[in-house]
Amino acid sequence: MRSPAFHRDPYARELAVTVRPELVDGQPAAWLADTILFPGGGGQPADRGRLGGVEVTAVERSDEGFLHRLAAPLPAGPARLELDWEHRYDLMQQHTAQHLLTAIALTRFGWRTTAFHLGPALSDIELDRPAFTAAELAALEEAVAAEVRAARRVSARWVTPEQAAELGVRTRRLPAGHTGDLRVIEIAGLDLATCGGTHLVSTAEIEVLKLVGTEPMRGGTRLFWLAGGRVRARLGEVAERLGALRRLFDSGEPELCEIAARKLEELAAAGRLTRRLGERLAELEAERLARAPGPLLELHLESPPPGGPAALAAGIVADRPEALAFVTAAAGDGLVFGLAAGDGLALDLAPLGAEVARTLGGRGGGTGRRFQGKAATATHRAEAIALLGRTLS
């Protein structure tokens, strides 16, 4: 089979084809003798496109041709196959950038690429080095930028395995069962690597490559990056966010980090003060409740007390051996609750607490003199109080 159109001309956006309809697994599809849609593989995602105005959901290659799975059936006959060019060009920028980044990392610095991934937002390569300094990453990025400016020609050709060995072609792994000639991507004067994907014709079309982070991975380092239009898009997003922050803090850009750090310190201090006030309020409420008449002492707080509601309930009944304390507290959108029985009550809280939990529409656990749990809402709190009142009477 001759090379498909996506290899012959990766810049072709349309192709006149003849549709041979097919049903595959009960879904509409069409066989084409040729295609401009790369089916995906070797680390590069598949292309997107439309056949006769119908979305192509997947492309598969076989000895019979190219099977295009479709969102809707098409009749037999001539049709036009259209490529989602923006998606393709983005992938060509990222994939060519990966070849260049991998080649520079290896030839200039001795860092070997062990894996790569072209993601929808970020791409990454894995290098066989456990860590990098900021200076090393800056040197790598600048070396790549120099080769982008050099506008090196990028081309594809087929070679025999013997020729590939003689030329020193870089190869990570070949498809299972591959035999015969190898497709090689050459960055003139810099790199030769096996690859079946689509690429730019010049490193200048990469425009720019920006390294954006690292993380440890399997004894090496995963290096994240953006290239081409993604860099410009990310820069636009960052500019929008910075503009929003400038307006929010009524500040210039250089002072943003200092102001944000100060606001976080103030927020943390306010949070600590709020917690202390909440703790003191809970103590005062508990003291007040401990002096209230009757065997059932119930209290609701706007936030969970220190140690939880069951611990606070136990403190309330410490000097009220004949009483039962029921403490609830708001927790996010839900409710936490605790029960504690005074030593003078002949009451096992395990079954009673389970019944309270069911009434609240929640769950919990406990034994003997204490029970605690949580519920999704406080809707049935009054019903739970009524249940406890009936039990004590």
Q: Which domains does the chain have, with CATH numbers?
A: 5-83 (2.40.30.130), 89-236 (3.30.980.10), 273-392 (3.10.310.40)
Instruction: Please tell me the distance from the alpha carbon of residue 198 to that of residue 182, in angstroms, as a whole number.
Output: 15
Mean pLDDT estimate for the chain: 92
Strands 324-331, 296-301: pairing kind: parallel
Which pLDDT belongs to residue 200?
97
Is the C-alpha dihedral spanning 53, 54, 56, 60 positive or negative? negative
Which of the residue ranges 34-43, 117-126, 171-180 would you say has the lowest mean pLDDT? 171-180
Range 357-366, long-range pairs (CB < 8 A, 24+ positions): 359/383, 359/384, 359/387, 360/335, 360/384, 362/334, 362/335, 362/337, 364/337, 366/310, 366/339
Which pLDDT belongs to residue 177?
60
**Confidence at 336, pLDDT banded by 50, 70, 90:** very high
Which pLDDT belongs to residue 16?
97
Mean pLDDT (whole number) for 372-380? 92
- List all residues 6 or more positions away from 10 whose beta carbon is below 8 Å from its beta carbon: 88, 92, 198, 199
Nearest to 341 by CA among 322, 356, 360, 366: 322
Digit-coded pLDDT (tens) for 285-325: 778 877 888 899 998 988 888 888 998 898 888 888 899 99
Instruction: Please tell me the distance from the alpha carbon of residue 155 to that of residue 192, in angstroms, as a whole number.
Output: 10
Nearest to 125 by CA among 172, 187, 178, 191: 172
Torsion on CA atoms 173, 225, 119, 67, rounded to nearest 10: -50
Which pLDDT belongs to residue 368?
76
* Other C-beta atoms lying within 10 Å of the C-beta of residue 365: 11
Is pLDDT above 60 for 136?
Answer: yes
Structure-block tokens of residue 232: 């410009």
Digit-coded pLDDT (tens) for 99-117: 999 999 999 999 999 999 9
Angle (deg, nearest 10), helices 229-249 and 256-290:
60
- Strand, coil or helix: 343: coil
Lookup result for tokens 């879904």: 27
Indicate the residue type of 110: G
For residues 293 and 80, the model is more confident at: 80
**Confidence at 173, pLDDT banded by 50, 70, 90:** low
CA distances, 2 to each of 51, 69, 336 (Å): 21, 22, 70
Q: What is the pTM of this model?
A: 0.73
Strands 182-187, 123-127: pairing kind: unpaired
Percent share of the chain, pLDDT over 70: 98
